[in-house]
Amino acid sequence: MGPRRVLVTGCSSGIGLALAVRLAKDELRRYKVVATMRDLGKRGPLETAAGDSLHKTLEIKKLDACSEASIKECVDSLPNRQVDVLVSNAGAGMIGPLECQSIAAMKELFDTNFFGLARLVKEVLPDMKQRKSGHIVVMSSVMGIQGLLFNDVYSASKFAVEGFCESLAVQAMKFNIKTTLVEPGPVVTEFERKVYEDAEQMDLSETDEETARIFREIYLPYSKKVFSSLGQTPEEVAEQTLKVITAKEPPLRHQTNRLYMPMTALKHADPTGRLPLDTFYKMIFKHDSVFNATLGVLRMLKRRGGKP
Ligand SMILES: NC(=O)c1ccc[n+]([C@@H]2O[C@H](COP(=O)([O-])OP(=O)(O)OC[C@H]3O[C@@H](n4cnc5c(N)ncnc54)[C@H](OP(=O)(O)O)[C@@H]3O)[C@@H](O)[C@H]2O)c1
């Protein structure tokens, strides 16, 4: 069997870039990577990171996840339109009080995070079915499992992704097509910088003073601490995604951050939903010291090699 062709979306930065490069530099040369981005003007960092693998095991193509025509043009340009592994990674974040977010901005987020995936799958699934092989890998998030304060719309978009894949996976299985949701916790990428930059500039006048204060004085500092204590590098997420792609029997779900797992486990421990709700409420509003101490312990575990 020759190398498998992997199409990755959103490779101008972060996880997509790291994954494309990791696959292209695979020691066993198992992959031919089609690294895509919506704006080829941003190809510089990927070209630099790809180094010698550029034009050998990695080629860069344009693909905008919000345009069916762009996706089709990219897939049509591939020999036999063959995509063995699709990695739907392109995505964006959104944080803040709901009252301060327009419906247009929410639709835009869903257009990328959810409909982007739906468009990609519609384009490659029929060919995968015909070939009776393929793997659909989707960059979801722990927020696709457990919602988080001030992440209402982002979390909803990732829940949509999870429901879509969970449903599709059963049909796909019939055609020998695998489906995997990769679920990172916080990852230090442009994503983090962009959401905090948006948050700093956000007009909070549409919400009440108490909510604005909670967002600015409690949520943002907590969230930044979580990123600096638990945040993974995009290379760590890429390494784990490689393992999932290589696995003979890939899992439907793969959480990349072991340190974040206790948070998502709460959800499965109590079907009424009270346990995660109470825990998050107490952690954020009542036990500042417990929250900080927990992060301190997790930071220590990470330094001592607690990374998955
Ligand atoms: N960072 C985290 O904490 C975290 C945690 C869990 C899950 N994730 C998920 O991981 C994925 C990658 O995020 P990241 O952290 O690597 O962030 P990132 O560095 O901001 O990368 C996001 C990528 O998606 C691209 N993109 C956005 N809209 C697009 C569109 N319409 N068509 C094609 N590409 C588009 C961006 O391109 P431009 O440069 O053109 O904007 C960029 O290349 C996302 O799905 C995100 O939800 C991230």
Alpha carbons 107 and 93: distance in angstroms, whole number: 13
Q: Is residue 38 part of a domain?
A: yes
174/2: higher pLDDT? 174
129/192: higher pLDDT? 129
Q: Is residue 179 part of a domain?
A: yes
Domain range for 95: 4-207+231-258
Residue 117 burial by CB count (10 A; 0-12/13-18/19+): exposed, middle or buried? Answer: buried
Has residue 299 got a pLDDT over 80? no
* pLDDT bucket at 109, cuts 50 / 70 / 90: very high
pLDDT in tens, 137-195: 999 999 999 999 999 999 999 999 999 999 999 999 999 999 999 999 999 999 988 99
Alpha carbons 298 and 230: distance in angstroms, whole number: 7
Has residue 292 got a pLDDT over 90? no
pLDDT in tens, 257-279: 988 888 889 888 999 999 999 98
Encoded amino acid at 135, one letter: H
Has residue 223 got a pLDDT over 60? yes
Query: What integer pLDDT is reported at residue 284 of this predicted model?
Result: 82
Distance 15 CA to ligand 1 centre (A): 7
284/10: higher pLDDT? 10
Query: What integer pLDDT is reported at residue 226 of this predicted model?
Result: 87
Residue 142, domain CATH: 3.40.50.720
Is 23 annotated to bind a ligand? Reply is: yes
Alpha carbons 199 and 149: distance in angstroms, whole number: 14
Q: Is residue 115 part of a domain?
A: yes
Query: What integer pLDDT is reported at residue 183 of this predicted model?
Result: 98
Query: What integer pLDDT is reported at residue 32 of this predicted model?
Result: 98
Q: Is residue 220 part of a domain?
A: no
Tell me the DSSP string of 219-261. IHHHHHHHHHHHPBPHHHHHHHHHHHHH-SS--SEEES-GGGH
64 Cβ inside 6 Å of ligand 1 = yes
Q: How far apart are the first and last CA of the chain?
A: 31
Is 207 annotated to bind a ligand? Reply is: no
Give the residue-averaged pLDDT of 274-303.
77
Q: Is residue 290 part of a domain?
A: no
Alpha carbons 265 and 91: distance in angstroms, whole number: 25
Q: Is residue 198 part of a domain?
A: yes
pLDDT above 70 covers what percent of the chain?
93
Has residue 308 got a pLDDT over 50? no
Nearest to residue 149, comparing CAs of 238, 42, 281?
A: 281
Alpha carbons 121 and 14: distance in angstroms, whole number: 22
Active-site residue 219, yes or no? no
Distance 131 CA to ligand 1 centre (A): 30
- Please state the φ and ψ torsions of residue 213, each to the nearest 5 degrees: -65, -45
90 Cβ inside 6 Å of ligand 1 = yes
Query: What integer pLDDT is reported at residue 304 of this predicted model?
Result: 67
74 Cβ inside 6 Å of ligand 1 = no
Q: Give the residue whose CA is nearest to atom 48 of ligand 1.
A: 187
Split into its structural domains, the chain has a count of 1
Residues 6+ apart with CB under 8 A from 102: none
14 Cβ inside 6 Å of ligand 1 = yes
Has residue 80 got a pLDDT over 90? yes
Give the residue-averaged pLDDT of 292-296.
70
Please tell me which residue in 154, 196, 219, 222 is annotated as part of the active site.
154
Query: What integer pLDDT is reported at residue 285 of this predicted model?
Result: 84
Query: What integer pLDDT is reported at residue 305 of this predicted model?
Result: 61
Query: What integer pLDDT is reported at residue 290 of this predicted model?
Result: 65
Q: Is residue 107 part of a domain?
A: yes
Nearest to residue 186, comparing CAs of 304, 283, 17, 299?
A: 299
Residue 201 burial by CB count (10 A; 0-12/13-18/19+): exposed, middle or buried? Answer: exposed
Query: What integer pLDDT is reported at residue 229 of this predicted model?
Result: 86
Q: Is residue 226 part of a domain?
A: no
Give the residue-averaged pLDDT of 44-57.
98
Q: Hey, what are 261's tokens? A: 């797992």
Distance 232 CA to ligand 1 centre (A): 15
Q: For the chain, give the mean pLDDT.
A: 93
233/288: higher pLDDT? 233
Q: Hey, what are 268's tokens? A: 């499965």
